Amino acid sequence: MKILYIGDIMAEMGIQSVEKILPDIITREQVDMVVAQAENVSAGKGMNLVDYERLKRAGVQAFTGGNHTIKDAELFPLLLDTAAPVVGPANMTDCPGPGYKLVSSIKGTVLVISLLGSIVGKQSDIAMQNPLQKVDELFAAIPRESYLTAVVNFHGDYSSEKVIIGHYLDGRAGVVVGDHWHVPTADTQILPKGTAHMTDVGMCGSLDSSLGVTFESVIPRWRDGYQTRNQLATTGRNQFNALLIEIDEQSGRAVRTGHIREVW
């Protein structure tokens, strides 16, 4: 079984990147399941239903979340619907839904879990449960025979937390992948007990920007010390970042993995 995990889809340029690149990758790599980080999809904050449908048509089959997931209430019914392949952070107190979904594919069912790191950007006061305790609860409650493998997304600031949870879940999940910082890390690997891991998979969206935001809107804030409003980048080069994982269909563990990056 081949799973593709797509990094943070950042606003309109990110959606366009997925629409352009993903169909070819699905065909070329014979991908069975596509999971994508969706918390930045609609104007950088949350995901509305129009953009949800666009990404589904492009080939995305399941969606993970982050601190911005609750910014668009249109998504709440999908978060609550156990049959809808949209997941918010399981340990985020104010996020509707169970924080995991069982998503079917032609090769088998995939358990998709989304978690939030202990500090995310300026919103360090987000009410949340400890992510390690929460993921232990989920794995204890969900019957192992109900899924072929598990994809756990960890959306957070600290690289150390993203590395720790990979090793913490080694052998329990087929994939543990981090995101939120929009910059891919050069540490793709299969851990000793068979879990594919990457600290941060990167983003889809503007390359000629500061993580999807124009340089013109962020440099004055850094240089001169006054607050400015972020402006989303809408022109220039685009990028696509994803992690491809091959899963052994008997054990549910990873046997091959690699980072895919395309710039156009």
Q: Answer for the pair 148, 107: CB distance below 8 angstroms, yes or no.
A: yes
Q: Report pTM.
A: 0.95
Backbone φ/ψ region at 48: left (φ over 0), alpha (ψ -120 to 50), beta = beta
Between CA 251 and CA 264 the distance in angstroms is 37
Q: Which residues are catalytic?
A: 68
| Alpha carbons 121 and 179: distance in angstroms, whole number | 13
The pLDDT score that the predictor gives to residue 229 is: 85
For the chain, 264 residues long, the average pLDDT of each consecutive 10-residue run is 98 97 98 98 94 99 94 93 97 94 97 88 73 98 98 95 98 98 96 99 93 84 86 92 99 99 95
Rounded Cα distance between 172 and 185, Å, is: 23
Q: What whole-number distance in Å separates Cα of residue 108 and Cα of residue 106?
A: 6
pLDDT at 227: 83
**Is 97:122 a contact under the CB 8 Å cutoff?**
no
Please choose, from the candidates 69, 50, 15, the residue with its C-alpha nearest in 3D space to the C-alpha of residue 204. 15
Give residues with Cβ within 8 angstroms of 195, minimum separation 6.
166, 169, 170, 171, 172, 173, 174, 175, 176, 253, 254
DSSP string, 19-56: HHHHHHHHHHHT-SEEEEE-TTTTTTSS--HHHHHHHH
- CA 27 to CA 25: how far, in whole Å? 5
The CATH code of domain 2-263 reads 3.60.21.10
Output the pLDDT for position 215: 81
